[in-house]
Chains A and B, each alone.
Chain A
Amino acid sequence: MNLDKTRPRNVLAFWTYGWFVNSGTSPYLALPAIGWDMFARSGRPYTQGRIRGEDLVFAETEWRFPLQKSKDKWGGVLFLSLPSQAQFAKPKYWFTYNHTGRFDDRWSFGFDINYRTTGLIPLNSSLTAGRVGLNYHTKTGFRITGGYAWFGTFASEADQIWLHEDRAYQQVQYNHKKGNINVVHHLRIEQRWRQQFTNEDLDETISTFTNRYRYLIQFDGPITNYPDNKTGFRWQLANEFFIHNKEEVGYMLFDQNRTLAGVLISPPGKMSVAVLYQLIVQQQPFLRETFLINSFRITLFQTLDFRKKKKNIMEKEIPVID
Chain B
Amino acid sequence: MRHKKTNLFYGTGYHLDIFWNIDDRQLDLDASPPRITHHYRYQDLKGINTEKYSQSGLSANATFDSRDNVVNPYEGHLAAFSFRAFPEFLGSTTNASQLWMEYRT
| Chain A residues at the B interface, C-beta cutoff of 8 Å | 1-2, 8-9, 11, 13-32, 37, 52, 120-122, 230-231, 233, 267-268
Contacts and interface: CB of A to CB of B under 8 A. Distances in A.
B74 to A, nearest CB: 5
Interface string B23-62: 0000000000000001100110010100001010000000
B14 interface: no
Nearest to A22: B99
Contacts of B93: 27
11 contacts: A1-B75, A14-B104, A19-B99, A23-B96, A23-B97, A25-B48, A27-B19, A27-B53, A29-B22, A32-B98, A121-B86
A231 B8 contact: yes
B6 A230 contact: yes
B4, B22, B46, B98: residue with the most chain A Cβ atoms closer than 10 Å: B98
Contacts of A268: 4, 6
Contacts, number: 109
Given A231-B7, A231-B8, A267-B8, A24 B74 contact: no
Contacts of A15: 102-104
Given A1-B105, A17-B102, A25 B64 contact: no
A20 B98 contact: yes
Interface of B: 3-4, 6-8, 17, 19, 22, 38-39, 42-43, 46, 48, 53, 55, 64, 73-75, 80, 85-87, 93-105
A121 B96 CA distance: 5
Contact of A8 (B48, B74, B101, B105): B74
Contacts of B7: 231
Contacts of A23: 95-97
Contacts of B3: 231, 267
Contact of B94 (A18, A19, A25): A25
Contact of B101 (A13, A18, A122, A230): A18
